[in-house]
Structure 1
Amino acid sequence: MTAHEPFSVWAPSAQDVRLRLDDEEVGMRATSGGWWVADRIAEPGMRYGYELFDGENWSKTLPDPRSQAQPDGVHGMSEIVDHTHDWSRGWTGRPLAGQVIYELHVGTFTPEGTFDGVVGKLGYLRDLGVTAIELMPVQPFGGERNWGYDGVTWHAVHEGYGGPEGLKRLVDAAHDAGIGVILDVVYNHFGPDGNYNGMFGPYTAGGSTGWGEVVNISGQQSDEVRAFILDAVRLWLDTYRIDGLRLDAVHSLDDTAAYSIMEQIQDVADDVTARTGVPRYIIAESDMNDPRLITERDGGGYGLAGQWVDDIHHALHTVVSGERHAYYEDFGSLEALAKTLRGGFYFDGTYSSFRGRRHGRPINVDSIPAHRLVTYTTTHDQTGNRASGDRPSMNLTPAQQVLKAAVIYCSPFTPMLFMGEEYGAQTPFAFFCSHTDDNLNRLTSEGRKREFARSGWDHSEVPDPADPATFEASKLDWDFNEEQQEIHAAYTQLLRLRRELGLSRADLSELLVETGDGWLAMGWDDVLLVANLSESDVVAPYGGELIYSFTAPEVDLDETRLGAWEFALLRR
């Protein structure tokens, strides 16, 4: 609900609707398309809600599905937001190409767990080499602690993080520091705690994504649900001046219309870009290995700026860690890693033993620039979706951690760090929640244990998501020891060299990727990374001038001798 307009709500399922303004009851009249309107103008600061009549009974006062603020939580009254803000001048933005993204969870990134706490770390991130922060979802959820993927009011901002004003302060401060802001948004399901939207209208369509009921973006009356999503997209990109959105799990969207919701979201981003002159971009998380997402519109694609690529992560993770359980079973060889570095997808129409079928489609490396593939050594999912939420840095040596970073940062793809990996954080990032319904908390905990048992984990390793200690243990510890300082220095150096050597090059077809007995070489005519992805000493038939290494490999003009998990960045 926007300030200075008449109160209105889409409620096609109701026989009557009334507006509640504090203790005042205001009647509403039905208009076309299932909308109801009141003869009252929304002014900033007003607290309000709606009451629905089903033919027999009036509901309790419900929050507005389009609420932009929930000061008292997802079950409380909504509030009209004043969006006037004295924005700083001078931010001209930047496209996805050439960026270094840093994914973070607002509640656990700093001791304060707020947007203002993130502001206090912007200088640190800039010095590290980060050019954009990616916030895990900040929409309101039930309780005080959550990853954010249980959001229920998609136009609002979680009050515990600082609410709408806190998010604006963060975006403004980030832009002043030369850092863009990406927001993770969830349009494939609603959270289970505080979701009243179904009482208003058909926001869902039956069936389950595994996290919640399928959102109605292709069924009857789905036009308004699409508009609900697209208005949220415009709110973030235009009103809040967010630079980019990351769309969560688009493979779970029931998107069967001729015009995909992803295309429509891209249209909004293009419109805001054209009107403001500041680039806005859309990144998808997808398990489909479908290059149409990042193929230009005139080539039959959706035209998104980028997508996460798990295949590269899986291939690198399995080679270094040795893990082969669950979806890692298809990976584990240098050849698999080399294939992903050459073309992004390991599964490009090939058979997946984990899925029991063929999967994916090849990327046209001649037409799709490398920066459209977002790569990483870990993410919130790849850490938090482990039984105990243990990070790679809790299981790998410093040399192994920095080696993985070198492969990612010396590749031409868009790199992303997950908070804390840049110094080898020893705190876990486990799944946590604090639903206001104790039964929901119990069901969540039991569901997590069943899920991990199927993947071979011991259920005793799974911390209780609702236990406050699970959340507290997941907060970063910013007191670096000597080893962590060395890892941090290596990450900083690698990101600096990536920028100075121009390693984010567009043409994947010109990238050299070769493997040998335990070693991998990747690079260009002038710069080459040679890496030993094994526990044995290796000799790679590539030499040159050593630019950087975390250790002390032996490099000459024709070959490089590498100890276990060593790498050398060479000038050829």
Structure 2
Amino acid sequence: MKTIGAEYLGDGRCVFTVWAPLKKKMVLHLIQPKEQKLPMERADFGYFRLEMTGVEPGTRYFFRPDDEEDFPDPASQYQPDGVHGPSAVVDHGAFAWQDSAWRGIPFRNLILYELHVGTFTPEGTFEAIIPRLAQLAEVGINALELMPVNQFPGSRNWGYDGVFPYAVQDSYGGPEGLKKMVDACHAHGIAVFLDVVYNHIGPEGNYFGKFGPYFTSQYCTPWGDALNFDRDWSEGARDYFSNNPLYWFEKFHIDGLRVDAIHTIYDTGAVNFWELTYHKIRQLEQRLGRSLPMIAESDLNSPRVIRSPELGGYGFTAQWLDDFHHTLYVLVDEEGKQRYPDFGRMEQLAKAFTDGFVHSGEFVPFRKRKYGASSVGIPGDHFVVFNQNHDQVGNRVKGERLCMLVDYERLKVAAAAVMLSPYIPLLFMGEEYGDESPFFYFVSHSEPELVEAVRKGRKEEFADYGFDAEPPDPQDEKTFLDSKLRWQVRSEGRHRLMLEWHQQLIALRRSHPVLQNVGKDDLRVDVLGQQGLVLHRRSEDGLRHLLCLFNLSGEPAAYAVAHSAARWQKILDSRERRWLTEADDRPGLPITVEAGAAVSLPPLSITVYEASE
């Protein structure tokens, strides 16, 4: 792999490399501890390089292309003074890792937990997460998915405005803090996934154009010109971003990546950017002896995303399944139809369980075209499902979580739908105990014109959704502080019950052989009109069976148990007294039912039966 940026070799030796193919010369400007301006040597393929001695970790430096002003290193690994300040040399070999025995967790066994470092704890740092890990592990969560942590402007941001894809945010604790957190996670049996952004670079502190043709006007994205992966001089940008996953896997022991909005990345070359990245990661897997999964966020509804390049695909391990969220959400929140008008029928939820993509080639009014392709037969561990994530919560005008939109019974049913599915479940931080703090969009830019542009953009975006209120000011620190979790409530009242409900669901998912089966051939669904559905699942050996009876309506739903098993034993019931917030004398389903028996599913309930052959 081509090294870029400042590669510290130990004993004061450091190699500085920068890609600037259209520049005639490059100067390395060392500013600490001793100021020096040193010409760099032109190397092949548009790179400038300089190897030095007497350079220690923490040394601050700029690059100066063609005698222009100083700019931070585009491949900086640390920006201790923010996005406009000098870059700093990092010694990755100095950290004393304690996770030599860690080999990761099989992807199909993951319980993902998305969190934002700045709002997860009062302190908002990597190290402040460490004391919470035991509590997360106790619930059954075994994988954190960090929202982007690469350097962004100021100290408050979702992370998608990052401008240094190799640098770890200084206000979170920098490279050292991230390594401490990952090491601690592995000690608790928790994997760490990192959200990365390869479709754009944020606006403030973006100096890429000062060095080389990282962007192309050939394609337009929501953020402006696209990254240059297939036009003139594109090899430098391709190497820069395709090597980035290797950096996180090697230097920080990250277990996997979630890649933001891959549908806004364009490459028509013979070797697609994703194919290039895929093969680099496969080679690293062989060297490290562990799998390195990649999860895509994709708006394509295309199986190509999760097919291997040998079959014409992009090679992702899995992708977020938005269709599952949309159809389930509209069924549990009647207001959801305004947000997702193409969803809301029980047959769609059944299709989400059995197929994956709900929109798979038919005409979709919202898209104004035929959209998607079938995902029938694709195993469940190629999709990640959720009831909420940073987008679903943060892109509401009031930042409401699902627990702020629906009642407790609907919340339990929705949680069960995710955990009893054949897919990889993802929780959004605080969801496990029904945290009621909002999650807003927030920034801390230093450029007044940019701040006003962000404010205007958010107002226009919410106007398109038809919300009747204005969003809080993204630049106001209060917007950020209001978004912090309220950990103190997780042991109180209904929050404690919701925590225990998730704990029960996760324990069942991780222990029951039927729920370990991700194959679609062993799954079918009976739709109960528009009231609910029954999910049939069986183990890989065909000997164990589960009936998951969902009633998403406010009225009882009739169902006749049609299965060859003679007797079914109840193992989970959301109407059991221990799961109720208030007394309810209405009877639930019986402890055992016989094949052919007619039962009445209580309103807003999930009941699970098991049987063996």
> Normalized against structure 1, the TM-score is what?
0.96
Is 2:547 aligned against 1:528? yes
Match of 1:148 in 2: 159
* Structure 2 unmatched ranges of 5 or more: 539-544, 562-566, 577-587
Shift of 1:300: 3.0
Deviations 1:36-76 (A, max 9, x none): 223534542211011122xxxx4332100111000001100
Match of 2:560 in 1: 541
Q: Contact between 2:108 and 2:424, CA under 8 Å: does it hold in 1?
A: yes
1:277 aligns with 2:292: no
Structure 1 CA distance for aligned equivalents of residues 46 and 244 of structure 2: 20
Shift of 1:178: 0.7
Q: Which amino acid aligns with 1:524?
A: R
Distance 1:38 1:299, change over 3 A: closer
Corresponding residue of 2:580: none
The answer to whether 1:448 aligns with 2:458 is yes
Structural mapping, 1:7-406, within 5 Å: 7-22=16-31, 23-38=35-50, 40-41=52-53, 43-53=56-66, 58-84=67-93, 85-88=95-98, 89-206=100-217, 207-324=219-336, 328-365=340-377, 368-406=378-416
The answer (yes or no) to whether the contact 2:534–2:550 under 8 Å persists in 1 is: yes
1:144-181 CA-partner distances (Å, limit 9, x unpaired)? 10000011111110011110011111111111111111
Other structure's SS at 1:360 match: coil
**1:144 partner amino acid:** S
SS in 2 for 1:102: strand
| Matched-pair contact (CA < 8 Å) for 1:326–1:354 | no
Given that 2:113 and 2:144 are in contact with CA atoms closer than 8 Å, whether structure 1 keeps it comes out as yes
For the residues of structure 2 that align with 1:51 and 1:298, how far apart are their CA atoms?
Answer: 43
Q: Which moved more, 1:504-513 or 1:443-452?
A: 504-513
1:453-490 C-alpha deviation (Å, 9 max, x unpaired): 012112x3311111111100100001223011011100
CA distance in structure 2 between the partners assigned to 1:501 and 1:447 by the alignment: 47
1:83-121, CA deviations, whole angstroms, 9 ceiling, x for partnerless residues? 022111210112311211011001111111111111111
* Superposition CA RMSD, Å: 1.6
SS state at 2:548 partner:
strand
| 1:256-289 superposed Cα distances (whole Å, 9 cap, x missing partner) | 2222222222222222211111221111110001
Structure 1 residues 394 and 219: alpha-carbon distance in aligned structure 2, compared to 1, 3 A threshold: same
Alpha carbons 2:354, 2:376 under 8 Å: kept: no
- Whole-Å Cα distance in 1 between the matches of residues 203 and 338 of structure 2? 27
**1:105-142 superposed Cα distances (whole Å, 9 cap, x missing partner):** 01111111111111111111111111111000000011
Distance in 2 of aligned mates of 1:262 and 1:528: 40
Alpha-carbon displacement from aligned partner over 1:282-336 (angstroms, at most 9, x marks no partner): 1111000110111234433233211100000001000110134566111011011
Deviation, 1:559, is: 3.7
Report the AA paired with residue 122 of structure 1: L
Distance 1:219 1:52 in 2: 22
1:427 Cα offset (Å):
0.5
Q: Which residue of 558, 574, 581 maps to 1:550?
A: 574
- How big is the shift at 1:401? 0.9
The percent of aligned pairs where both chains have the same amino acid is 40
Q: For the structure 1 residues 39 and 122, does the alpha-carbon distance in structure 2 shift closer, same or farther, using more than 3 Å as the test?
A: closer
Identify the range of structure 1 (138-147 vs 29-38) with the bigger mean alpha-carbon deviation.
29-38
Assess if the C-alpha contact under 8 Å between 1:266 and 1:282 holds in 2: no
**Does the residue aligned with 1:229 lie in a helix, a strand or coil?**
helix
Residue 364 of structure 1, CA deviation: 3.9
Per the TM alignment, residue 11 of structure 1 is displaced from its structure 2 partner at its CA by 1.4
2:404 and 2:87 mapped to 1: Cα distance? 42
Residues 559 and 102 (structure 1 numbering): CA distance in 2 closer, same or farther, change over 3 Å?
A: farther
Equivalent residue of 2:533, what SS?
A: strand
> Is structure 2 residue 503 aligned with structure 1 residue 492?
yes
CA distance in structure 2 between the partners assigned to 1:523 and 1:180 by the alignment: 30
Q: Which runs of 5+ in 1 are unaligned?
A: none
Letter in 1 for 2:116: H
Please state whether the residue corresponding to 2:168 is helix, strand or coil. Answer: coil
Deviates more, 1:126-135 or 1:560-569: 560-569
Matches of 2:472 and 2:171, distance apart in 1: 23
The alignment partner of 1:313 has SS state of: helix
Cross-structure match for 1:562: 601
Question: Which of 197-206 and 501-510 deviates more?
Answer: 501-510
Q: Please state how far the C-alpha of 1:389 moved relative to its aligned partner.
A: 1.2
Distance 1:326 1:79 in 2: 49
Structure 2 counterpart SS, 1:156: strand
1:519 corresponds to 2:532: yes
Q: Residue 3 of structure 1 aligns to which amino acid in structure 2?
A: Y
Give the letter for the 1:141 counterpart: F
Q: TM-score, normalised by structure 2?
A: 0.90
Instruction: Report the 3-state secondary structure (helix = DSSP H, G, I; strand = E; otherwise coil) of the residue aligned with 2:362.
Output: strand
Is 1:457 aligned with 2:471?
A: no
Which amino acid letter does the alignment assign opposite residue 464 of structure 1? D
- 1: CA distance, partners of 2:143 / 2:328: 24
Q: How far apart are 1:184 and its partner, in Å?
A: 0.4
State the Cα deviation string for residues 431-454 of structure 1 (Å, max 9, x = none).
Answer: 111112122111101101011101
Deviates more, 1:297-306 or 1:127-136: 297-306
Cα distance, 1:515 vs. partner? 0.7
Corresponding residue pairs, total: 565
Aligned mates of 1:323, 1:260 — CA distance in 2: 41
**Maintained 8 Å contact 1:192/1:212:** no
SS at 1:120's partner residue?
Answer: helix
2-structure distance, mates of 1:532, 1:144: 45
Deviation at 1:208, TM superposition (A): 3.4
Code of the residue aligned with 2:59 in structure 1: it is: M
Q: Distance in 1 between matches of 2:71 and 2:295?
A: 33
Report what 1:470 is aligned to: 479
Q: Deviations over 1:491-543 (max 9, x none)?
A: 00000011111313121122021111312111324111101111212222238
- Contact kept? 1:233, 1:268, Cα under 8 Å: no
